């Protein structure tokens, strides 16, 4: 996505562990990525003796050989309970005493003999040389400043690499600009889900920080990282947890008028503004009460198999004859789609099951090795795509050979060339079938229950729409004034012509496509 939107080749900084893997490594080499060795990928060696004291900047051992086992820059690691503690060696005083770079916190202090391990200092000189050479030739370097993929709902602490590259290049009189890039999505782990890429204003390393970098690299790096962190937060959505993220999107859907069309940039800006309200005013009793009501409404929607965009269509409830005709039409559409998709499921289910099984094992392994992943959806989704790209072509070729064995060459060639296209078209039909099913099920439930629960759902939504506008008017009046322009425009358009049918999801999809800019 970065390469397709930047408009120029990007050399990404890539973990050497991934760079040497058979699938993702080939992609990294294809994009001329720069491999980097990460501390967590360096094998640990068991230390000789035991640590008996670790406090302030000093570590003492018993039966240890620090002078022969350690050099400056190595990392010493020990366990305190279930927590892994690390410190970088600054100076070695003797075989039983060494000094570390940063003071050891009281939580990590040692008061009894403890085993330890050693991680050798990593030489990054070749990697830095490649980065500086790329920047000197006016090319682009892409770096993920958080250090790796994760599924948290907010930015993780930035690693120092991007600041070291930028300030180091500026110190060498290489003109460099850092362009923040944010990617926003809600269902990133789902196939064919939407993602928005947004770029911030270019940042040039300040001259005072470049001068400070000559004398105090750590301080200059920290100050520049703070500047980059603020820039990244300005183009990403950051909330405390998944529950807050779901509330934020429900808040945005309730506040944004149903007929209001926003471009991608406006949609992201509105969501970020509301996220600031959610995070900065989270202790306000009025907002807490509103949040509780929204979450109750969301649970009600989930119980009735309805999304918020569908709940907004429920003012049409009441006339059973048109609703029965609509249900029959959707049922017939689903039946025809099911008939068309039978060959697709026969062909795709075996390979899909294998890929799903392998991806689940990969996710479990990643969760056990990482402290920043919550459910590992990012790992599973990436693995699905990578393995699918390598496994599906041979699988389709095997099907072609089987058909050739039982028919003739012409039939096999037709299958070979048409099957990939048929698989892709089937995926599009599956997407449409899911939309029809999500519209048909609640419509059927509504007819069976004579619309009682669904009328109540619509009333709840209308009340929350009023409350959402009140929350914005109270906590961000400027946003309320800015949104008046879009609200007035939507009121001038022909509402009846664009009104969706009962429980339909197509209106929401059409509105988002029309709003892309």
DSSP lists the bridge partners of residue 51 as 61, 114
Tell me the pLDDT tens digit for each residue of 328-368: 999 999 999 999 999 888 888 888 888 888 888 888 888 87
Query: How many CA atoms lie within 13 Å of 218's alpha carbon, on the beta-carbon side?
Result: 2
Taking 50 as the threshold, does the pLDDT of residue 498 lie above it? no
pLDDT in the model for residue 411: 93
Tell me the pLDDT tens digit for each residue of 237-251: 999 898 999 999 999
Euclidean distance between CA atoms 190 and 104, whole angstroms = 43
Which residues of the chain form CATH 2.40.10?
Answer: 44-121
Contact 134, 141 (CB under 8 A): yes
pLDDT in the model for residue 514: 38
pLDDT in the model for residue 508: 46
Taking 90 as the threshold, does the pLDDT of residue 148 lie above it? no
Tell me the pLDDT tens digit for each residue of 182-198: 988 767 677 777 788 88
Range 133-151 burial, b when 16+ CB lie within 10 A, else e: ebbeeeebbbbbbebebbb
Identify the weakest region by mean pLDDT among 299-313, 451-465, 481-495: 481-495
Euclidean distance between CA atoms 388 and 191, whole angstroms = 12
Euclidean distance between CA atoms 80 and 428, whole angstroms = 53
| Torsion angle (degrees, nearest 10) of CA 413, 414, 419, 424 | 130
Euclidean distance between CA atoms 372 and 71, whole angstroms = 30
Tell me the pLDDT tens digit for each residue of 84-127: 899 999 999 999 999 998 889 888 888 889 999 999 988 889 99
Taking 50 as the threshold, does the pLDDT of residue 212 lie above it? yes
Q: Which residue has the tokens 């197509």?
A: 506
Per-residue pLDDT band at 397 (split at 50, 70, 90): very high
State the DSSP code for 433. Answer: H
Distance of CA 500 to the CA centre of its chain: 31
Euclidean distance between CA atoms 441 and 305, whole angstroms = 7
β-pair type (97-104, 116-119) = unpaired
β-pair type (45-46, 116-119) = antiparallel
- When pLDDT is averaged across residues 437-454 and rounded to a whole number, the result is 90
DSSP lists the bridge partners of residue 100 as 89
Per-residue pLDDT band at 510 (split at 50, 70, 90): very low
State the DSSP code for 186. Answer: S
- C-alpha dist (Å) from residue 394 to 321, 344, 408: 51, 17, 20
Tell me the pLDDT tens digit for each residue of 58-80: 999 999 999 999 999 999 999 98
Closest to 140 in 3D by CA, of 31, 218, 235, 213: 31
Taking 90 as the threshold, does the pLDDT of residue 450 lie above it? no
Euclidean distance between CA atoms 510 and 515, whole angstroms = 9
Per-residue pLDDT band at 515 (split at 50, 70, 90): very low
Token digits of residue 87: 């410190």
Class of domain 44-121 as given by CATH: mainly beta
pLDDT in the model for residue 506: 61
- Non-local (6+) Cβ contacts of 126 within 8 A are none
Does residue 30 sit in helix, strand or coil?
helix
Euclidean distance between CA atoms 330 and 433, whole angstroms = 10
Taking 60 as the threshold, does the pLDDT of residue 376 lie above it? yes
- When pLDDT is averaged across residues 454-469 and rounded to a whole number, the result is 94
- What percentage of the chain carries pLDDT values higher than 90? 53
Phi, psi of 476 (to 5 degrees): -150, 70
Euclidean distance between CA atoms 507 and 260, whole angstroms = 12
Euclidean distance between CA atoms 231 and 426, whole angstroms = 42
Taking 50 as the threshold, does the pLDDT of residue 293 lie above it? yes
The neighbour count for residue 174, using CB atoms within 10 Å, is 18
- What percentage of the chain carries pLDDT values higher than 70? 93
Element (H, E) at 182: strand 181-184
Closest to 12 in 3D by CA, of 158, 181, 170: 181
Does residue 85 sit in helix, strand or coil?
strand
Q: Is 197 exposed, middle or buried (0-12, 13-18, 19+ CB in 10 A)?
A: middle
Euclidean distance between CA atoms 4 and 79, whole angstroms = 45
- Most confidently modeled of 338-347, 369-378, 379-388, 506-515? 338-347
- Non-local (6+) Cβ contacts of 171 within 8 A are 210, 213, 214
């Amino acid at each position: 996505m970065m390469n397709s939107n930047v408009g120029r080749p990007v050399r990404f900084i890539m973990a050497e562990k991934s760079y040497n893997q058979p699938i993702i490594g080939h992609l990294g080499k294809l994009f001329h990525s720069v491999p980097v060795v990460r501390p967590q990928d360096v094998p640990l060696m068991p230390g000789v003796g035991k640590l008996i004291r670790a406090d302030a900047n000093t570590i003492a051992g018993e039966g240890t050989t620090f002078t022969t086992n350690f050099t400056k820059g190595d990392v010493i690691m020990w366990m305190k309970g279930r927590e892994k503690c690390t410190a970088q060696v600054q100076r070695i005083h003797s075989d039983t005493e060494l000094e570390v770079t940063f003071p050891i916190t009281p939580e990590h202090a040692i008061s009894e003999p403890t085993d330890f391990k050693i991680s050798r200092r990593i030489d990054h000189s070749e990697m830095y040389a490649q980065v500086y050479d790329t920047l000197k030739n006016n090319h682009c370097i892409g770096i993920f400043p958080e250090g790796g993929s994760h599924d948290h709902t907010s930015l993780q602490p930035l690693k120092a690499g991007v600041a070291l590259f930028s300030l180091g290049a500026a110190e060498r009189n290489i003109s460099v600009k850092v362009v923040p890039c944010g990617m926003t999505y809600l269902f990133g782990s789902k196939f064919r889900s939407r993602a928005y890429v947004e770029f911030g204003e270019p940042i040039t390393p300040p001259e005072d920080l470049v001068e400070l970098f000559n004398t105090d690299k750590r301080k200059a790096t920290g100050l520049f990282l703070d500047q980059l962190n603020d820039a990244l937060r300005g183009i990403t959505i950051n909330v405390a947890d998944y529950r807050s993220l779901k509330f934020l999107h429900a808040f945005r859907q309730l506040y944004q008028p149903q007929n209001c069309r926003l471009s991608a940039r406006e949609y992201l800006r509105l969501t970020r503004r509301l996220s600031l309200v959610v995070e900065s005013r989270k202790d306000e009793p009025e907002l807490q009460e509103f949040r509780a009501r929204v979450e109750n409404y969301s649970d009600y929607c989930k119980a009735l198999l309805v999304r918020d965009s569908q709940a907004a269509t429920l003012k049409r409830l009441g006339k059973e004859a048109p609703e029965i005709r609509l249900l029959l039409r959707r049922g017939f559409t689903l039946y025809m789609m099911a008939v068309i998709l039978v060959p697709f499921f026969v062909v795709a289910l075996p390979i899909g099951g294998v890929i799903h099984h392998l991806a689940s094992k990969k996710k479990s392994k990643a969760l056990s090795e990482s402290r920043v992943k919550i459910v590992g959806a990012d790992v599973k989704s990436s693995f699905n795509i990578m393995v699918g790209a390598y496994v599906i072509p041979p699988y389709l070729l095997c099907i072609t050979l089987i058909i050739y064995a039982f028919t003739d060459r012409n039939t096999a060639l037709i299958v070979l060339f048409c099957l990939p296209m048929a698989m892709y078209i089937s995926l599009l039909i599956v997407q449409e079938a899911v939309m029809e099913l999500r519209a048909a099920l609640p419509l059927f439930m509504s007819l069976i229950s004579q619309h009682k629960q669904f009328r109540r759902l619509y009333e709840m939504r209308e009340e929350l729409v009023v409350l959402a506008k009140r929350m914005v008017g109270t906590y961000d009046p400027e946003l309320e004034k800015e949104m008046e322009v879009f609200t007035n425009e939507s009121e001038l358009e022909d509402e009846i012509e664009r009104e969706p049918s009962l429980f339909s999801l197509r209106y929401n999809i059409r509105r988002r496509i029309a709003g892309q800019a």
